[in-house]
């Protein structure tokens, strides 16, 4: 009688849970994006160093493919982060 009805309490708890879940999803996606960007920077640095040294062999080819994969992962992670951030 002196508080919220049971239905209003449940609705408020559901809204709180939804917001908490969305915040955790956004935070997880942000961490994933940061890790992907770090991998991209690592492989980019390796490729640049190999290019400067004039190396042209399968190791450099591997590094180039790894850099492209890391870039793709970084883009995908950013998409997931933005999706989590603006989820309605």
Q: Assess whether pLDDT exceeds 90 at residue 69.
A: yes
- Out of 2-16, 44-58, 60-74, which region has the weakest mean confidence (pLDDT)? 2-16
Chain segment 38-52, per-residue pLDDT in tens: 999 999 999 999 999
Chain segment 14-26, per-residue pLDDT in tens: 888 888 888 898 8
Percent with pLDDT over 90 in the chain: 51
The DSSP line for the chain is --S--HHHHHHHHHHHHHHHHHHHHHHHHHHHHHHHHHHHHHHHHHHHHHHHHT--SHHHHHHHHHHHHHHHHHHHHHHHHHHHHT--
Q: Assess whether pLDDT exceeds 80 at residue 87.
A: no
């Amino acid at each position: 009688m002196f508080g919220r009805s049971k239905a209003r309490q449940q609705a408020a708890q559901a809204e709180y849970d939804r917001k908490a879940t969305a915040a955790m999803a956004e935070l997880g996606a942000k961490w994933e994006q940061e890790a992907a960007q770090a991998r991209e920077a690592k492989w980019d640095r390796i490729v640049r160093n190999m290019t400067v040294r004039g190396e042209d062999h399968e190791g450099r080819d591997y590094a180039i493919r790894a850099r492209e994969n890391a870039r793709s992962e970084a883009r995908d992670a950013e998409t997931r982060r933005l999706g989590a951030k603006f989820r309605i």
